[in-house]
Amino acid sequence: MDYAPKARLEDRLGASEPPYRSRGEAQVGRLLDRYGIPFFYEMPTFIYDRGKYRTWHPDFTLPTYGNLIVEYAGMPDRPSYMVGVRHKDQAYSANGAPSLFLYPQDLQGRSWPQQLTQKINRSRKSLPGYHHGYGGRPSLRRSYRSA
């Protein structure tokens, strides 16, 4: 009997996913989706940086978590890349935009999904105006950056 090899998850999901820029971003996006956490992928966001308003496209924006920005920093071993990550973190903070930066080590091990959702929930609870006991399920699933 001839069996076709199983298609990779990425191939089976096809057009139902945004065009993630890295495997790490895809892992984060799938986790958010699995746990029913609505997000915008690369939603245009105005940031005042270096004396000008600029349009940035954060990896993920979580509207039901106080517009928490989740950035995946996939190359922490490159010093010049990390200079940019630190700059982003400072700019988000200066603009009052809550942010959470994730690194490859955050997506490893058997319990990484639970640990990551705990990080996101801790970030949410530290936001000003957070109300405990939110019982409603948001109707927004996710939205993607237009091509």
Three-class secondary structure of residue 100 per DSSP:
strand
Q: What is the Cα Rg of the chain in Å? A: 17
Could you name the CATH architecture of 25-124? 3-Layer(aba) Sandwich (3.40)
DSSP-assigned states of every residue in 36-72: T--EEES--EEEEETTEEEEE--SEEEGGGTTEEEEE
DSSP-assigned states of every residue in 12-35: HHGGGS---SSHHHHHHHHHHHHT
- Residue-wise pLDDT tens digits, 71-121: 999 999 899 999 999 999 999 999 999 999 999 999 998 989 988 888 888
User: Is the confidence at residue 6, as pLDDT, over 70?
Assistant: no
Number of neighbours of residue 59 by Cβ within 10 angstroms: 24
Q: What is the pTM of this model?
A: 0.74
Query: Structural domain boundaries of the chain?
Result: 25-124
Number of neighbours of residue 98 by Cβ within 10 angstroms: 18
Say what the pLDDT of residue 122 is: 84
- Residue-wise pLDDT tens digits, 36-66: 999 999 999 999 999 999 999 999 999 999 8
